[in-house]
Structure 1
Amino acid sequence: MLLFLYNFLSFLIIFSFSHKAIATGPDSGPEAMEIKLIPAPSIEAKYPKQILNLSTDERISTNALLADKTKRQLSVIDLSSLSQGAIKDQYTIDIGKKSGDKTKRNDKRTPEGIYRLLERKAPPEIPFETYGSMAFTTNYPNYFDKFQNKTGDGIWLHSVPDKVPLTRGSRGCVVLRNNDIKKIESTILLNKTFLVIDNKIDWISAEEHVAAKDYALEWFNQWRTHWQNQDLENYIEKYSSQFQAPPFNKKTWLAHKQKLKERYSYVKVRVSDPNIFQLKNQYLIQFVQEYESDGYSDVGVKTLYVIKENGTLKIRREEWAPLVVNMAHQQNK
């Protein structure tokens, strides 16, 4: 009863991005922030370290799936459950026959990383005896995997027939019961929903989660501000010496930005509330970017692949795609 009263009477003031893109700098107004009151989480509330933020911007907002290889559990996290330190749903899973992180083709290990669910497959396209009622493909190997020279492909989230035990071990896929994958199907938006796989999901306190989120957001806002202010000296310091965004490396990327600085009299960079995922020393930051200058403008989805190097976050790669093409809402058929 005391815990109930505590939750009922306590409120936590949190600051969050509005659904509109925001910008700061000499050429723009104050940040569009709003204050919301939400019930304080219970004393037992825990937050996943691997998910630091889920975007409130409907153009990229989605749920996330967390696969814990040690506990053999798949947790569904949405914006509401994340804010409360709760789990929306949880299911038992099977994983690769061999323990450890996947490093090469046919090693029968389940990879550990931050992946997107790309396509939905179902019989007769795939055999029911192997994949059950449906499967979702992933983008393994992702950029981080390729950088580490990991090989292989065909890592899926799929089901199995009820007669197949979830202790058999897969060839590396994350496996669910038929009924369970049907339950989570409605939570998956193709090319938007992330599947985060780790040896162990770390559940941390609200204070630890806020600190980890603020650390990433502060770095992210500095990167945007340096770019918008055309402070290229500090801007390029956010990039790793191993940065690659073909055809650019770090040196040619800076030269490219210097040419643009000479060409345009101003630059504005507005960003949405981002999705932020962390796994070990890897960070994936995804957001809607609205770029404007006196010579060019565009809107798209940008993804920053960031590594913590010697205690400092550095961009290893960035990708951009037009908003309409990349993140249009897709209905699972």
Structure 2
Amino acid sequence: MILKLFFLFTLTINISASSIDILTSYRVNGIDSLQKQLDKELTTKEYWTDFLKNKDTKFGYLESYCNVLACNKEKSKLCIYIKDKNTSKYQLMKEYSAFTGKEKGDKVREGDLKTPIGIYELTQKIAKVDPFYGPLAFVTSYPNVYDQYRHKTGQGIWIHGLPLNQERDEFTKGCIAINNPSIECLDKHIDISKTVLLIDEADVKTDVPKEALAHILSDLYKWRYAWIYNDLEKYLSFYDQSFKRFDGMDIEQFTTYKTRIFNKKEDKTIIFTNINVLPYPDTQNIYKITFKENYKSDSFSFIGDKTLIVKFQNNGISIITER
């Protein structure tokens, strides 16, 4: 307990000029009030602005990813960026020539011969594939939550090699293909659990403004604060009227569902780790937020991955889908 209090005291000194008020609240009301005020500090843009000051936000705010794969379909290239262990900055390591879908534009439906535009995980490495796909392949997470929200169809979007024993066209049915030495090189340099794939028609966005990220992270924690402290009205204010959850629940159904849960007035613990905030390719104001959520109340507990797709406008976020 002494160590916990020392940590909390040190944190308050570092993050807020109002540390005397926080300590007074702790003296009068106990440690629960101190936790609430610290949760409140995490909602401030000032905290996140200071926190991001020396972070590399080339692609956004990334806690989970050591490797970024950026595919420019127009220029037929796939670049690998690796986070330098000493500087924590993402450095371009390799640029591979790449084949993409025969047709231009974003993938919409099965069989349209287009490579999707978006943000994807690498979910699996397949070491033994049909020789047409070269020595190995990486499976992507297409269709992702945002794809499903927009009713896209199709599956089986891979990064793979070239045929071992035959010629092929200079395009794919929607996958990303690179030559076999390149995919073997890629395999040596990435951990798929720590790699994100960004696909755009042109160059992937870089140098994401810290100002926007600070607003988004501040709002993420305002949403969390309302959730923890049972402020239903504030919590629901973060949801867009066009909201539809991954399972099809619309905003009216979601409101009814959350009202029932909030009415229990349960104490909750909600911790976010491995947070990532990335601007969505080929959009003006859509961001993908992912994190590991640790949720615990008297009636329910959950530890797992969470995804929010948000609009960022007027310096605030509006959630349009989540999983």
Q: TM-score, normalised by structure 2?
A: 0.73
Equivalent-residue separation in structure 2 for 1:317 and 1:304 (angstroms): 6
1:8-27 alignment runs, 5 A limit = 25-26=36-37
Kindly state the Cα deviation for residue 300 of structure 1 after the two structures are TM-superposed.
Answer: 1.8
Kindly state the Cα deviation for residue 39 of structure 1 after the two structures are TM-superposed.
Answer: 8.7
- Residues 265 and 184 from structure 1, CA distance in 2 versus in 1: closer, same or farther, beyond 3 angstroms? same
Which structure shows the higher helix fraction?
2
Please tell me whether the aligned partners of residues 94 and 167 of structure 1 are also in contact (alpha carbons under 8 angstroms): no
2:309 counterpart (305, 309, 313): 305
Per the alignment, residue 130 of structure 2 pairs with 127
- The secondary structure found in structure 1 opposite 2:36 is coil
1:224-239 alignment runs, 5 A limit = 224-239=224-239
- The secondary structure found in structure 2 opposite 1:86 is strand
Equivalent-residue separation in structure 2 for 1:96 and 1:154 (angstroms): 13
- The secondary structure found in structure 1 opposite 2:105 is coil
Per the alignment, residue 213 of structure 1 pairs with 213
- The secondary structure found in structure 2 opposite 1:88 is strand
Kindly state the Cα deviation for residue 220 of structure 1 after the two structures are TM-superposed.
Answer: 1.5
Please tell me whether the aligned partners of residues 73 and 93 of structure 1 are also in contact (alpha carbons under 8 angstroms): yes
Equivalent-residue separation in structure 1 for 2:155 and 2:55 (angstroms): 43
Kindly state the Cα deviation for residue 269 of structure 1 after the two structures are TM-superposed.
Answer: 1.6
Kindly state the Cα deviation for residue 209 of structure 1 after the two structures are TM-superposed.
Answer: 3.0
Deviations 1:229-276 (A, max 9, x none): 222112111112232333633223223323223324422321114122
Structure of higher CA gyration radius: 2
Which structure shows the higher strand fraction?
1
1:16-165 alignment runs, 5 A limit = 25-26=36-37, 48=58, 51-55=59-63, 60-80=64-84, 83-84=88-89, 86-123=91-128, 126-128=129-131, 130-161=132-163
Kindly state the Cα deviation for residue 222 of structure 1 after the two structures are TM-superposed.
Answer: 1.9
Equivalent-residue separation in structure 2 for 1:138 and 1:87 (angstroms): 21
- Residues 166 and 283 from structure 1, CA distance in 2 versus in 1: closer, same or farther, beyond 3 angstroms? farther
- Residues 166 and 239 from structure 1, CA distance in 2 versus in 1: closer, same or farther, beyond 3 angstroms? farther
RMSD across aligned positions (CA) = 3.6
Per the alignment, residue 4 of structure 2 pairs with none
Equivalent-residue separation in structure 2 for 1:52 and 1:113 (angstroms): 14
Equivalent-residue separation in structure 2 for 1:282 and 1:175 (angstroms): 28
Per the alignment, residue 286 of structure 2 pairs with 282
Q: TM-score, normalised by structure 1?
A: 0.71
Equivalent-residue separation in structure 2 for 1:143 and 1:263 (angstroms): 29
Per the alignment, residue 271 of structure 2 pairs with 270
Per the alignment, residue 257 of structure 1 pairs with 258
Kindly state the Cα deviation for residue 211 of structure 1 after the two structures are TM-superposed.
Answer: 2.3
Kindly state the Cα deviation for residue 156 of structure 1 after the two structures are TM-superposed.
Answer: 1.0
Structure 2 unaligned spans of 5+: 1-14, 16-33
Kindly state the Cα deviation for residue 92 of structure 1 after the two structures are TM-superposed.
Answer: 1.8
- Residue 230 of structure 1 aligns with an amino acid whose one-letter code is N
Please tell me whether the aligned partners of residues 73 and 100 of structure 2 are also in contact (alpha carbons under 8 angstroms): yes
Kindly state the Cα deviation for residue 174 of structure 1 after the two structures are TM-superposed.
Answer: 0.7
- Residue 118 of structure 2 aligns with an amino acid whose one-letter code is G
Equivalent-residue separation in structure 2 for 1:307 and 1:37 (angstroms): 21
- Count of paired positions: 281
- Residues 29 and 141 from structure 1, CA distance in 2 versus in 1: closer, same or farther, beyond 3 angstroms? closer
Please tell me whether the aligned partners of residues 54 and 79 of structure 1 are also in contact (alpha carbons under 8 angstroms): no
Please tell me whether the aligned partners of residues 137 and 157 of structure 1 are also in contact (alpha carbons under 8 angstroms): yes
